[in-house]
Amino acid sequence: MRIGIKKEYKLPDYIPTRGHLMLQSKKISKSRNWYIGLRDFLQIYPSDYLRFYLTLITPYSQDDLNFDWDEFAARINSELIGNLGNFVNRALGFTKKSTGGVIPSTGDLDSVDNEAQDKIKNFVKELTPLMEENNLDRALKKILEFSAYFNQYFQKKEPWKGGAGTNNCIFISVHAVRSIAIALYPFLPESSQRIWSQLNLAGNVSEQSWHSMSEIAIKSGHNLGEATPLFKKVESADIETHKSKLGQ
């Protein structure tokens, strides 16, 4: 083909391959009603829930992967909501409550603040190689690690006590949320845009440079938008209903 067109094209560096998708450890079969209809799924849960779960359980290999309803619920509730959603909501929600949503000026940063700010500045360096090598599950886990780190940072700084470092904590935490919005876009585009809207930043998150996720780009005095929870919990009773329909 390359000889025929008499032009030189770069060959791909990676050709991703994956295994088969199983359902509750069995082969998917429409005739046995052992499947989940995508249209039906999207009437119940956001598409980002499916994107999140499938990315986490899909390694860069030809190993088969298994959609398990119980694991789906556990991962959405603990990792997406309990970790990532919790940090975004507490950082933006606290800012709205304590400053009316206005980003404050910072004072002298202590060692904890400096470490957190360095975490933001180095985030793109840690995440980019995983994306380029198509290790998407590891990349998403890296975003979750980043969010978990800032949950701990927020807890350690205790800004609700109104101490001297409160403004530093708010400023850095809001920037961490901005980093998450940009990093999350390839995985959860709808949720990422909702975060961007709550930050009240110009344009769409899809228009942002990938490398800008590590910038300290929000100015003091910027006003946030409305801060509302991003996700809703997956109820165990609903999961049992979904499982009971298989094979009927």
Q: What is the pLDDT of residues 146-190, one digit of tens each?
A: 999 999 999 999 999 999 999 999 999 999 999 999 999 999 999
> If phi over 0 gives left and psi between -120 and 50 gives alpha, with beta otherwise, what is residue 82?
alpha
Average pLDDT over residues 227-248: 95
DSSP 117-141: HHHHHHHHHHHHHHHHTT-HHHHHH
Average pLDDT over residues 106-113: 96
Of 189, 149, 166, nearest to 55 (Cα)?
189
The pTM score is 0.92
| pLDDT digit string, tens, across residues 178-204 | 999 999 999 999 999 999 999 999 999
**Side chain identity, residue 19:** G
The DSSP 8-state label assigned to residue 60 in this structure reads S
**Side chain identity, residue 169:** C
- Terminus-to-terminus CA distance in the chain, angstroms? 50
181 Cβ neighbours under 8 A, 6+ residues apart: 192, 195, 196, 199, 205
> If phi over 0 gives left and psi between -120 and 50 gives alpha, with beta otherwise, what is residue 53?
alpha
Write the CA distances from 71 to 38, 139, 155, integer angstroms: 18, 20, 28
Q: Can you tell me the distance from the alpha carbon of 93 to that of 101, in angstroms, rounded to the nearest whole number?
A: 8
| Rg value, the chain, Cα | 21
Per CATH, is 12-248 categorized as 3.60.15.10?
no
